Amino acid sequence: MFDLTKWQRIVLKVGSTLIAPDGKGCSSRYLLAIAHFVVRCRAMGIQVVLVSSGSVAAGKHLFSDNVTNNRDVSITLKKAMAAAGQSEMMAAWDRLFDFPTAQLLLTQDVLQDHASYTSVRKTVFELLDHDILPVINENDAVSTDNLKVGDNDNLSAMAAAAVDADCLIICSDVDGLYDKNPSQHSDAKLIHQVDNIDSNILSMAGDSVSGLGTGGMFTKLEAAQKATAHGILTFILNGLKESSFNQLLQGQNPGTCFMPAETPMQEKVHWLTHTSQARGEVIVNNNIQAKLQDADLKLDYSDIVDVNGDFAAGDTVLVRDEAGKKIAKATSRSSSCLLYFLTSDDVDDSIVESAQISGPVIVKNELAVLETK
């Protein structure tokens, strides 16, 4: 049992299977129960942020069957489906509520920049303060491979962390996490509670039953891992069943409950670890590993032995030791171009001094130490 009345804010993720179950546009078949749950939560004083997939599935029926039934649908056509389906999806949600909704379409580059990430956070809070329901989706109509989050399971966890949610609810087409794929094994057992998402838990992930969405159980576990690290209670439940939402309202666990970390990550550390993607790598000398916990840690160009990738000042980079082990993610205060120059064998201190290059490349409050298990 848990106390729903203590929640201030939740993020609810709804997938394509629930939005357009027949692949013929939006349907209220499963959305009515979800909408009722949202209304009940708001009546209890709980703010709700909706992360809604389904724009491609919602827009598919608007295009010729002989094109959309082709397994090799082009990326451009999928983007067109998303553009057409997004408005249909928002209209479907609007019909189910007697309060206003607002659309936020995000791409990875928006979340990648901490200032933009903070701006999204402030916008959501402003909408919630005015009793407007934020509906978040990835902007599939314009995103490219290097700008994609990739799936709305992980996007929902990023959103939950950004808005300081108490709970993340991920709706699936199965009852929760099983010890093996229930569609292939009749003796699969539902796992009701997970205290720590480790490699053993991740190995239990099978594929989603539906072929409409981009995420399966593995991406849901990734999302749960991100959310719980921020201290957010997370549920994976069967969104096809109205009883799932009734049980939640009664303080019962309808699926799999993932317990939040006892010591949540700080906001900036969580953003670096789980939201911002590394644009390149810096290789540091091995004696840095012992200094990572120092409050006044500062890495300058002399600590860096090599640079990989192409990144600008302000980008997130992966920090590795000389053996290639990942030790941290951090914001680089220098570009890769400058660091290539500073770490080259034929550069000496006099050249660096004459160029008036000073200041650290990485500082402690812009660094997140990675788990070293």
Residue-by-residue DSSP string for 147-212: G----HHHHHHHHHHHTT-SEEEEEESSSS-BSS-TTT-TT--B--EES---HHHHTT----S-SS
> Please, which pLDDT band fits residue 147 given cuts at 50, 70 and 90?
low
pLDDT at 214 over 60: no
> Each residue of 1-58: pLDDT tens digit?
788 889 999 999 998 889 988 877 888 999 999 999 999 999 999 999 999 988 888 8
Average pLDDT, the chain: 87
Are the CB atoms for 11 and 156 separated by under 8 Å? yes
Q: pTM here?
A: 0.88
In the predicted model, is pLDDT for residue 117 greater than 90?
yes
Percent of the chain with pLDDT over 90: 56
| pLDDT band, residue 274 (cuts 50/70/90) | very high
207 versus 267: the higher-pLDDT residue is: 267
End-to-end CA distance of the chain, in Å? 32
Q: In which band, very low, low, confident or very high, does the pLDDT at 208 lie, cut at 50, 70 and 90?
A: very low
pLDDT of the residue at 192? 96
Domains of the chain: 4-269 (3.40.1160.10), 278-369 (2.30.130.10)
Percent of the chain at pLDDT > 70 equals 90
For residue 285, the 8-state DSSP code is -
73 pLDDT exceeds 80?
no
Amino acid at 181: N
Dihedral of CA 85/91/92/97: which sign?
A: positive
CB contact at 8 A, 208 and 173: yes
pLDDT in tens, 322-347: 999 999 999 999 999 888 887 776 66
In contact, 51 and 156? CB cutoff 8 Å: yes
